[in-house]
Structure 1
Amino acid sequence: MKLLFAMAVAMMISVSGCDSASAADELGTLTLKSQNGQKTCSFPIVRGYHYYYMGNYGCTNDEFYTFELTGVKAGVEIRFCGGDNCDRSSGGEDDGNGGDCVGYQDGCFRYKIKTLKRYSSLDSFMFSEFRGTLVGYVPHSSFKMLEVHNSEHINGKLSRVEIKYCNESDFCGKNPGKGPE
């Protein structure tokens, strides 16, 4: 009888161990929406540091006004950019010239957020709500601001998204690689 009980407990532990391992791999989803909400574009969040050009993923460039987060793990960094390279300068450092956003160019913005909750979810946050925020500000309980580079026109100007979720074993570099298709 004790042997039967021990085998049953071992099976329950192994099954629950498998379930928790697969749940750990699920990092959530980022969904972008057009002004009227009829067009959407979703990106499953995966481990690593990836970039996504809107036009290369079945999404229309310069069309999205809002984003949603669904079940996103805490610690995920997401960068929304109006410029194609999402870069401060050719070397990635802020040298004052704005990188692919030379000076204060219309529609050229960068906003980087970091999720705060274990399973961050958010319905319809408008990109224009980023305007005027400061680094460290928490515009929603699901995320805080890590980078702010404003532009007068934000809505409908999104060109690129970068998503990063890494730990030491992921070997993420300084620059993102092309996201999975």
Structure 2
Amino acid sequence: MLEIAVLGLLNESPMHGYELRKRLSGLLGTFRAFSYGSLYPTLRKLSEAGWIYDESPTEDTAASGRSRRGKRVYRLTADGKEHLAELLAEVGPDAFEEEGFGARLAFFAQTRSDIRLRILEGRRRRVEEQRDGMTSALTRTGQRVDRYTRELHQHGLEAVDREVRWLDELIEHERSDAPPRDR
């Protein structure tokens, strides 16, 4: 998930580590907690694979005579662009889970329409399974839980129902916008 997010952001524009951290936090923060400690190992891994490169910083000499280190700017390579396209084209179970779906959704503009539709439909199935499990659990527990616990379960169920409706709207929109050959 982090790999897709980093490659996707660098595909939009080159950026230095601090800027990348801020953008990732804004992007992934709505979907999950983002660990800053995972960014630099991911950047190193992507660099070693040849998917990104960094422009090595140069030393600047300030007026005070002190040396100031420049920022490393990370850029996507041609192989990195191909790898990102491959990652975005993969439709597996991780694309339907909360974390994977959020990262995929953030880069839907870079994803083919038929892939977007498969991901949306897979996510809807996953959320509907969650809803069925929650409904079953709520029915089983029935009167055995206190009113507040029951309300909490009901609140969760309503949130899942909202997500299913939202996904239905996205799927309908995707189908109506798709050219005939992508449908």
Larger helix proportion, structure 1 or 2?
2
Q: Fold match, TM over 0.5?
A: no
Coarse TM-score class (shorter-chain normalised): under 0.3
**Structure (1 or 2) with the larger CA radius of gyration:** 2
Question: Quick one: higher RCO (CA 8 Å, sep 6+), 1 or 2?
Answer: 1
- Normalised to the residue count of structure 2, the TM-score between the two structures is 0.24
